[in-house]
Structure 1
């Protein structure tokens, strides 16, 4: 099947590069100067970075000077989730608490010793247990704690009560980070309203280039004692190395586009998502959609059809020209049972069949109809097999 005929419904893994962004990236690639150089060519490259910094800051209601560009969301999380992250003049955290459904970059990318890490449980809808969090912070007493919770889950789309978590954490003298990679550009994200001390972003989730992200701090009153990348003084000393000017410029362009159409695009994607879900239930009445009782991103739903394994279904949909996913796309292409679904208590046999549909700027009504056609083909084969075995 020709590439032009394929239907791409995996925007949570990567949202395709927007044409407008590609043009910005191309123009920035032509700039000859190093952004740290003082001559005109260097200043032109620096201007691209600073303009992008302003655009990314606006996307999340931050001040540009508190945006630190990195190679992606994973590096940004690794950079901030360390005992060396602290307010100026204060001791750093000695303990880390993370949500059970966090992205692997948080669960595996932090720099705390294993015995200093606790896991905040979630309920059957994937929502954080805030009572557990409060009790854990009370038990910690004078010990300073860093908490990391997602704003939106990449697999289920579930939105977390981050603002309430931040209030609880600050009442107990702790620090809080949120992974806003999946939420930014899909729902309003405001640093002040969330009340977090830091959040992390990734450009390729909003139609920007792969390989660039950001750590955004709530103010300039924070420091990180041990940097990940050491060398020159780029990014105000938080992240050394010559900046990827073209990717950063593309990040800024993508952020600006996402911000300009946020409300309208969210409404459009929600309508398409509900149409796709209705088609799924028309074709497979026994289908199960995960976390329907929770507030979720407008573009995402995860579903399972009893008796259909995810690996088999992904291949079948792919052959039908539809790109879906199962679990996180950051696991070297492996199809395995999701730790997110395990944390939610989803029955293992069902969890092994969960697929994710994630819509984005390229998605049209025609794509939803093509998804339905693929469903009929995939599910029809399953039902025929069940009938012959009966």
Structure 2
């Protein structure tokens, strides 16, 4: 009885928190459907988290293991992002242009942040700049598929810039948002990549040299066993743990797990994609986004609305403008001819949220960023997901009517 009273005084229990999170996860796609898809369910999840979290009604918080489930959701989000990423998009002439464009975005954002926030230290400037130059490819894919652009030149351009816009910030986080020097961080990152390659090589060799193991995975893929899903979860935990041992962000380990998984499945082995999406998008990833919304200080964002708007505009300029310029003036053999399509590409490329959340979490944990700034950045990222694809769709509809 005394324990229950102490729990009620300190805040909601983990079970109560998870009840409200589960309710938010259930309602989010329904609300998004009622709004005809113009408000992505990711934004709805964040808004629900803001409403039920400590800065809102305080019906839920991250205590009691909720934060651990949210971290698993973050891992699943980036595992699926790595799984969906086609490595061919990172190569070739268009891939090289996308990489160089992202580097220009980062430098542009860094200069802008340094000039506008002279009182912050350089590492904080880097954290904000990385957050401003990401692309939420996993969030954009359903939107682009719905508009029918995925198999067109615009869709391929979105995939190229989106792939780099997801991978490059993850690598930059590991190199620049660390207590080590850049040189030491580079060595650590190289060691991690070697470890990840070894981790990926082992199951690949087993599946190639022991065909019976592949058959066993197929036989135990259903019912209560679900062996392939358990194997993927083990792979995710191994690489997240390896990343933590190397003092890197666990996001990098999750992304590497997704890339390895894609290679294993591409070799003709059991397809666990739908099952992973069920576990990820059905359970863990919504917990991550609602928990992220619970960390947004509504009062801090409302107290500085101009800063919020400035961040949204800055993201559009720092990420969208270089993408537009590169598509317009840097030939790579597949440039978009239409001015409207180039504007659409710039808006889609500037749509970022998951990596913004990840960067702010790393930066706040390292003491590089205050909660107020982190809340405003995440709110700005949510605004880009809400606003930029919507404007791009309106431009696309106008282009279709003109055609």
TM-score class normalised by the smaller sequence: under 0.3
Higher helix proportion: 2
When the two structures are superposed, what TM-score results if normalisation uses the length of structure 1? 0.25
Higher relative contact order (CA 8 A, sep 6+): 2
TM-score (norm 2): 0.25
Q: Which has the higher strand share?
A: 1
